[in-house]
Structure 1
Amino acid sequence: MATTPRDRKRRDTPPPRTGTSEAEVLRGFLDYLRASIASKVEGSPDPQARAAAVPSGTNLLGLLHHLTCVEGATFLGDQVTDWQATFHAPAQDAVSDVVARYRDTVDRANEVLDGCPDLSAPLPRPRPGKPAPTIRWALTHMIEETGRHAGHADILRELIDNTTGR
């Protein structure tokens, strides 16, 4: 039986009205997308959240686990040896564990960004010898990466329980 728009559970938040500087706009939109995907995953039923809903194997919980790894690699210098594996959350982790780990990683990434006022400066990395992108590039990349996967999460969450919106 097909659902109608009224049957869907809709929560929506408009885009941010951020400050006037480039850094404020970039960070405002990144934080908006981060909150959007975390809320999309939060409260989703565990078996369905980790089940593949499309032939590629993409699943809601795996998307957030992947973004946790991307945040960590981009802003904190974490090393990832198998990017494909990041699309699957550890079996022992509940939805709430993955959401909490994502939010903690975002908080730590924001602490790094708070100390980086110059967008054209290289991102500080704890791994010496590895070239670092500029803060501007890293923020833009994370907006693209998070936005792309937030769109995937929108569809996956709607398939799970008809929840739509940000």
Structure 2
Amino acid sequence: MPTASRRGRRSDTPPPRTGGSEAETLRGFLDYLRTSIAAKVEGAPEPQVRTAQVPSGTNLLGLLEHLTHVERSTFLGEAVTDWPSTFRAAPGDGVADVVTRYRETVERANRVLDGCADLGGPLPRPRPDRPAPSVRRALVHMIEETGRHAGHADILRELIDGTTGR
């Protein structure tokens, strides 16, 4: 197995310097994590990117596919009926497809957030059957979810080809 010192060593990107407001801080850290996990998946080789590297079956491409669904559910109000299935990319989807879909979803989510002036107010929801979380709660949840899976992605990418760093 290649070692990080021989292949794929990247320097770590430090956490962002954000503006002084709570909203700027939360969004800055979320965008930092979003960029980190997309970069971790980008350029990962097939078929290893979709091959389970751990007994749970978790794979690198599936993590980003899952986060795409979480972003859509949280910020866009889309219903997810089978969460376990969100951890698998479609067989025909390659790395570029999944990364592009994730980035497009993040752009849509950010447009929703751009229209939210009050962190304590509810996210706008196209689904009236379900109460909307506050903008603050949604941002904190996505920071936790993205950060947790970015950590998984760090380990999985290193197991695949030795690439480390953010």
TM-score by length of 1: 0.97
Alignment of 1:138-153 (within 5 A): 138-153=138-153
Are the aligned partners of 2:50 and 2:60 in contact in 1 as well (CA < 8 Å)?
Answer: yes
- Say which SS state the counterpart of residue 46 (structure 1) adopts: coil
1:6 and 2:5 correspond: yes
Q: CA deviation at 1:7?
A: 1.8
**Can you give the 5+ residue segments of structure 1 that lack an aligned partner in the other structure?**
none
* TM-superposition CA deviations, 1:135-159 (whole Å, max 9, x none): 0000000000000000000000000
The aligned amino acid for 1:34 is R
Give the Cα separation in 2 of the matches to 1:156 and 1:78.
28
Q: CA deviation at 1:129?
A: 2.4
Counterpart residue number, 2:135: 135
Give the Cα separation in 1 of the matches to 2:149 and 2:161.
18
Cα distance, 1:158–1:132 mapped onto 2, change above 3 Å: same
- Say which SS state the counterpart of residue 102 (structure 2) adopts: helix
Counterpart residue number, 1:157: 157
Cα distance, 1:85–1:24 mapped onto 2, change above 3 Å: same
Give the Cα separation in 1 of the matches to 2:70 and 2:18.
24
- Say which SS state the counterpart of residue 67 (structure 2) adopts: helix
Counterpart residue number, 1:45: 45
Q: CA deviation at 1:2?
A: 7.1
Alignment of 1:24-39 (within 5 A): 24-39=24-39
Q: Percent identity?
A: 75
Higher relative contact order, chain-length normalized (CA < 8 Å, sep 6+): 2
Counterpart residue number, 1:124: 124
- What is the number of residues matched between the two proteins? 165
Greater than 6 Å deviation, 4+ residue runs: none
The aligned amino acid for 1:23 is A
The aligned amino acid for 2:131 is P
Cα distance, 1:44–1:132 mapped onto 2, change above 3 Å: same
Q: CA deviation at 1:9?
A: 1.9
- Say which SS state the counterpart of residue 5 (structure 2) adopts: helix
Cα distance, 1:165–1:2 mapped onto 2, change above 3 Å: closer
Give the Cα separation in 2 of the matches to 1:96 and 1:126.
29
Give the Cα separation in 2 of the matches to 1:152 and 1:2.
19
